[in-house]
Amino acid sequence: MSVQEVQLRSTLAGYTAEGKLHSLSVWFILALRLMMGLAFFQSGFDKVLSGSFGAAGYLQNAPPANGSPVAGLFVSMGQTPWFVDFVNVAVPWGEVLIGLGLLFGVLTRLAAFFGAFLMLLFYLGNWSVSHGYINGDFAYMLVFLSVAAFGAGRILGLGQYIEQYDLGGETLVERYPWARYLLG
């Protein structure tokens, strides 16, 4: 086994962060992608199979009961029939698609973005700061963002092959550089 270190450097808003990434880190990045993929696929698949997922009660009751700072927004969403109908389909199928994207490493950054977005909504809806502002929903959101940032779909995923697909002498990402932000 070859052990190498990769130098990382990033500057954001005038601040530079530097560090070294150990070559074994690739396995942990892959593990994060697969763990979140399996968790979301199972959660969504269970909801789809049961056919009884309904968001209205949660939207109208849980955020106010939890003291969420955006409880009014959730209640309003829960009282809007077309929005509840949308959420009743979007959450279960979104979880399935996010899970599949991560498991197979396809459109990984897009899947991770939507996973992080869902976790942000769950964080706000399940609001509980009695033990601090960091809870499982917040931690999962950061895991999704890490999966996206590291381009985890390129690690034993189909994304690495899709990015290199030949389009008349150019790879897909050479011809369409914006695709890197969805694939990875």
Distance CA 146, CA 32 (A): 9
Number of domain units in the chain: 1
Containing domain of residue 107, as a range? 28-157
CA neighbor of 146 nearest in space, from 26, 12, 45, 23: 26
- Residues above pLDDT 70, as percent of the chain: 98
Q: Does residue 124 sit within a domain?
A: yes
Q: Is the model's pLDDT at 158 over the cut of 60?
A: yes
Who contacts 98 (Cβ-Cβ below 8 Å, separation ≥6)?
A: 37, 40, 41, 44, 111, 112, 114, 115, 118
Average pLDDT, the chain: 92
Tell me the average pLDDT across 18-41. 92
| pLDDT value of position 22 | 81
Q: Is the model's pLDDT at 73 over the cut of 90?
A: yes
Q: Is the model's pLDDT at 2 over the cut of 70?
A: no
Q: Does residue 92 sit within a domain?
A: yes
Q: Does residue 34 sit within a domain?
A: yes
Residue 107 near residue 183, CB atoms below 8 Å: yes
Q: Which of 5-9, 17-21, 35-39 has the lowest mean pLDDT?
A: 5-9
Q: Does residue 166 sit within a domain?
A: no
* Backbone conformation region of residue 169, classed left if phi is above 0, alpha if psi is from -120 to 50, else beta: left
Report pLDDT digits (tens) over 89-110: 999 999 999 999 999 999 999 9
| pLDDT value of position 89 | 96
Give the confidence band of 81 by pLDDT, cuts at 50, 70, 90. Answer: very high
Q: Does residue 127 sit within a domain?
A: yes
Residue type for 99, please? G
